[in-house]
């Protein structure tokens, strides 16, 4: 992961939150997703959110809108929960190691991911991770086009 390439500064004033507060934002993000509350992403994710990976599924819009669509797909095909295993934060960066568990009706994929989020003004603004979600979803027959 090359964090040096990340956008370091955006124009405008920003409210700096503590690493502890930033970790709480990330935990709430996963809890809201797990509860199916995608409307909360309007509060938790910046409209111009940047994901430094190609979309898991082709054709997703950029920013928060694409992230919402991604989680709509996940909820339709593999609703489950995220278990936060570890978190480390410094400044506005939060590294979170999570395990995603699928629903009882599907074999538990137990996918482990390591995600780095940048939190600014209490919102997720950037994301970079290592995971195998798309591979696992394809293995269980997810069709993102529907």
DSSP 55-113: -SSTTPPSHHHHHHHHHHHHHHH---EEEEEEEEEETTEEEEEEEEE--TTS----EEE
What pLDDT, on the 0 to 100 scale, is given for residue 4? 42
| Main-chain phi, psi angles of 32, to 5 degrees | -65, -40
Confidence band for 131, pLDDT divided at 50, 70 and 90 = low
The answer to whether residue 140 scores a pLDDT higher than 70 is: no
What pLDDT, on the 0 to 100 scale, is given for residue 69? 92
Burial of 101 (0-12, 13-18, 19+ CB in 10 A): middle
Tens of pLDDT, residue by residue over 6-23, are: 444 444 456 678 999 999
Q: Distance of alpha carbon 129 from its chain centroid, rounded?
A: 9
DSSP 105-144: TS----EEEEEEEEEETTEEEEEEEE--HHHHHHHTT--T
Q: What pTM does this model have? A: 0.77
Tens of pLDDT, residue by residue over 73-100, are: 888 776 678 899 999 999 999 999 998 8
What pLDDT, on the 0 to 100 scale, is given for residue 18? 94
């Amino acid at each position: 992961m090359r964090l040096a390439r990340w956008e370091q500064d955006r124009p405008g004033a920003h409210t700096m939150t503590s690493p502890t507060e930033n970790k709480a934002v990330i935990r709430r993000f996963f809890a809201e997703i797990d509860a199916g509350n995608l409307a909360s992403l309007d509060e938790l994710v910046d409209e111009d959110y940047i994901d430094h990976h190609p979309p898991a599924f082709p054709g997703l819009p950029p920013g928060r809108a694409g992230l919402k669509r991604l989680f709509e797909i996940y909820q339709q095909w593999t609703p489950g929960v995220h278990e936060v295993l570890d978190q480390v934060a410094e400044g506005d960066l939060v590294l979170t190691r999570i395990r995603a568990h699928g629903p009882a009706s599907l074999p538990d994929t137990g996918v482990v991911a390591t995600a780095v989020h940048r939190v600014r003004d209490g919102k997720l603004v950037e994301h970079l991770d290592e995971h195998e979600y798309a591979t696992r979803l394809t293995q269980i027959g997810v069709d993102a086009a529907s």
